[in-house]
Chains A and B, each alone.
Chain A
Amino acid sequence: MPTATIPAPPLLDSLPEGSVEVVEGLDQPTWIVRRDALAQVARQLRDDPETQFDLLLDLCGVDYPDRDERFEAVYHLYSLPRAARLRLKVPVLEDDPVLPSLIDVWTAADWFEREAWDMFGLRFEGHPNLRRILTHEAFQGHPLRKDYDPARRWILTEDKIYKPNPQPTGSESVDDMFERMTINIGPSHPAMHGTFRVVATLDGEVIVASEVEIGYLHRCFEKMAETHTWQQVIPYTDRLNYCSSFINNVAYCRTVEKLMGIEAPPRAVWAQMILSEFSRIMDHCVCNGSTLVDTGALTNFWYMFQPREEIYGLLEACCGARLTVSACRIGGLLEDLPPDFEARCRHLLETVPEFIDDVDKVVTKNRIWLDRSVGVAAISAEEAVDHGWTGPCLRASGVDYDVRRAYPYDLYGEVDFEVPVFQGGDVFDRYRMRMEEIHQSLSIIRQLLDRGMPDGPYIVDDPHVALPPKEDAYNQMEAMIYHFKLIMDGIQVPPGELYHMVEGANGELGFYVISDGSGKPYRIKVRPPCFPIMASFSHLMQGGTISDAIATLGGLNIIAGELER
């Protein structure tokens, strides 16, 4: 994996003395920035031709109660032109947890800052709308602080609740004689796949202003992770992007494996790649299917769900579960692959394209669908990057960034596949992108199958990581002790921190994990790909009709489980 180098000394020189401290020895270049210099550093990092960090991937808080400066805001940056990564850490005092808002530098900071405020009570000065985002309005305290009791209960009432009333900015137009109508789309609405709410102010059918409210499906994933052992987190990851839960499993396990310095055996990696790609196909099928059903083409929805059903059959054969698979373990797989694994995969390679091609024939050149999708909710490459987009939606806007290509993890460096890129950035290109990626995924799977299944174990042969076989645990003293230790104490992950990412079905899925060596994660932050995408939904909808909004939302592939964790 290419480690990014940061060619930044001239930048450092131009800053006030002591404002930036470079940390060595971490997984990626890391700077500790004093908060007074943060705005300046951020702006220069974005604008300096030597750095060009144009993509704010993630922003999160970390709580260190023992430190003088208790809180730390952690920014993960990526530079598309230079393929470089950088982590900024900004420590702040408990009494004065105030930072400058970076919303002017990266629009993507909007919701991330709101989340950090909600979870840690970090105040971002200059943020126009620093409200709670994941928890209820009447919630008190900041749940991800270490001194917040997870068992605490609040009575949440409706009286203090925030009532969105989005109003258009700018000059009032002549036709104000027509009364505007404010309409609630969601949280319970046929086209809100998941549970979120868009409050839109309409002029006729045109949305003149809108506000997105999320948090209806917030499940405290990150807080729960801190109270469980490292293995126990795996089932929680299933519930992030539940349309492709296997990819989440892989991403999490890889991250922990990297932090521990172990590697999954080739057989496990091979199978994980195949199942990840199948999961990606499922996810794309659900996304395109629901986009189409939202535009009234219900039949295509069924066509798209049929391959998903078939792939669930494969997953079921591998681990017994269909939706929330939990099929990965740190260091490999839950169990060995079924004997007919390859035959099943081959069969799927035959059947899946039939359904995809059917949809292709019915819809892709259909005049009505083209009218509904071409040019609708289009976003330019610059805007998409500024809003922190990744994945198929970003590539549909013409930015060639795919984690599988930029940082070829697993065997992605050894298989031949294309990263499709479209230029329109509209609903149609996002749809085409996913159709094309389904074919690329099928090609990757075919190549992997042609390489043959590697022999060997399906999980690392390390009793500190993998459970011993049941038979041994019952019959051998040593195995039983290992079993006991693993179940009771969990895997012991050495202290350290790491950010690892894979290409999820809807963008860069990153896990930022911090271990203090206690046997439980100190902090796990998920970089949910659809979070920044959903944050820009209001922006996308401006000036479109309700029908456009509905057609757009399906194609963005917003999965509430991942959005709100």
Chain B
Amino acid sequence: MEIVVFLLFALLALASAVVVVSHRNPVYSVMSLVVTLLSLAALFVLLGAPLLAALQVLVYTGAILVLFLFVIMLLNVGRETPSGGTGRGQKIGALVTAAAFGLVVISLLWGRFVGIEMPALTVEYVALKPLARTLLSKYLLVFEMAGLLLLAAVIAATVLARKVGKSRGETV
């Protein structure tokens, strides 16, 4: 039963991920990404981590991807016109990404091969209270640094936006 659900969502995630990169219309790409992320959320639930699933949906699908759509609509990006052939940069990008992905897969397999067992993602790690405790004790420094980084990003974005606003003579 569980394997059926897993396969269903795993396939859905992969298929929609392919659509994300292959579709010519950016809105469809974003919507496919929504499907990918929702499928991943379902996989998280299967792993016994409904909290991560909820956060995934709340943060990624509920906010970040909406911003993607927002920007696409603001810029009024239409259907991408086939440009005939692929660019040099595109090729390099594809190679680098494939290499990085391959590295991850190989390292996982290698670990298995030499017998370093990755600890299973069990409820002790991903339930609400243990997760919160881990984040705010063992990884407190990293957690706070991430927060600080986000704050810096917010300030930087504000400064940039203000500059544009000023040159337009607005008081917003």
Q: What is the interface of chain A, defined by CB distance below 8 A to chain B?
A: 173-175, 177-179, 181, 204
Contact = CB atoms under 8 A, between A and B. Distances in A.
Contacts, number: 15
A145 B74 CA distance: 50
B76 A175 contact: no
A179 B75 contact: yes
A173 B167 contact: yes
Contacts of B76: 179, 181
A175 B168 contact: yes
Contacts of A181: 76
B114 interface: no
B75 A174 contact: no
B4 interface: no
Chain B, interface size: which category? under 10
Nearest to A206: B170
A178 B75 contact: yes
A46 B170 CA distance: 35
Nearest to A174: B167
6 contacts: A173-B167, A174-B164, A175-B164, A175-B168, A177-B75, A178-B74
A273 to B, nearest CB: 47
Nearest to B76: A179
Nearest to A180: B76
A25 to B, nearest CB: 55
Interface of B: 74-76, 164, 167-168
A204 B70 CA distance: 12
Contacts of A175: 164, 167-168
B99 to A, nearest CB: 33
Interface centre among B75, B164, B168 (most CB of A within 10 A): B168
A371 to B, nearest CB: 14
A511 B117 CA distance: 96
Contacts of B167: 173-175
A35 to B, nearest CB: 41
Nearest to A204: B74
Contacts of B168: 173-175
Given A173-B168, A174-B167, 12 more contacts: A173-B167, A174-B164, A174-B168, A175-B164, A175-B167, A175-B168, A177-B75, A178-B74, A178-B75, A179-B75, A181-B76, A204-B74
| Shortest 4 CB-CB contacts between residues of A and residues of B | A179-B76, A174-B167, A173-B168, A175-B164
B163 to A, nearest CB: 8
A181 B168 CA distance: 17
Contacts of A179: 75-76
Contacts of B164: 174-175
A178 B74 CA distance: 7
Nearest to B165: A175
A348 B74 CA distance: 52
Nearest to A181: B76
A181 B76 CA distance: 9
A435 B164 CA distance: 41
A343 B76 CA distance: 63
A204 B168 CA distance: 13
Nearest to A179: B76
Contacts of A174: 164, 167-168
Contacts of A177: 75
A179 B71 CA distance: 12
A178 B75 CA distance: 6
Nearest to B164: A175
A208 to B, nearest CB: 10
Contacts of A178: 74-75
B172 to A, nearest CB: 10
Contacts of B75: 177-179
A355 to B, nearest CB: 38
A173 B75 CA distance: 16
Contacts of A173: 167-168
B127 to A, nearest CB: 44
A181 B74 CA distance: 10
B77 to A, nearest CB: 9
A176 to B, nearest CB: 11
A183 B164 CA distance: 24
A326 to B, nearest CB: 51
A204 B75 CA distance: 10
A382 to B, nearest CB: 22
Nearest to A208: B168
B167 to A, nearest CB: 5
Contacts of B74: 178, 204
A175 B168 CA distance: 8
A502 B75 CA distance: 52
A173 B165 CA distance: 10
A13 to B, nearest CB: 47
A299 B167 CA distance: 41
Contacts of A204: 74
B67 to A, nearest CB: 16
A444 B164 CA distance: 54
A150 B76 CA distance: 49
A1 B74 CA distance: 60
A515 B76 CA distance: 59
